[in-house]
Amino acid sequence: DAGVIQSPRHEVTEMGQEVTLRCKPISGHDYLFWYRQTMMRGLELLIYFNNNVPIDDSGMPEDRFSAKMPNASFSTLKIQPSEPRDSAVYFCASSFSPGQGRGQPQHFGDGTRLSIL
């Protein structure tokens, strides 16, 4: 079965450029999450969606960050304009809803390693 698919795997770009990260969740999963991983701050939840609707975006660091989920099989995380401190690994994860069992595990994609020069 296909897992969570993220693209690109690696992205190197200049400061000030727009960056778009993409995610395809596991089919049938109702929840989608975006995380950021850095050495200094570890794994941080940025935003999550339920049935394509953003539920909690309190982890989004600044207005430069935005996320969308236009349909059940696709989400984007956009940074505009990008800054060197945005360099990190960005993970997308998905899970079933509670109706199919509580405490459903989140399944992660392979991540996008982002470097802003």
Binding site for other proteins (CB under 8 A): 31, 33, 42-43, 45, 48, 50, 55-56, 89, 91, 93, 95, 98, 102-111, 113
In whole angstroms, the minimum distance from the beta carbon of 53 to other proteins comes to 13
Query: Could you give the C-alpha distances from 84 to 16, 88, 117, in angstroms and in order?
Result: 9, 9, 6
Closest separation between CB of residue 16 and other proteins, Å?
A: 27
Contact predicate 91/109, CB 8 Å = yes
Whichever of 72 and 89 has its CB closer to other proteins, that residue is 89
> Are the CB atoms for 108 and 4 separated by under 8 Å?
yes
Identity of the residue, 9 or 85, whose beta carbon is nearer to other proteins in the bound complex:
9
Please state, in angstroms and rounded to a whole number, the distance separating the CA atoms of residues 25 and 7: 12
Least distance to other proteins from the beta carbon of 117, Å? 20
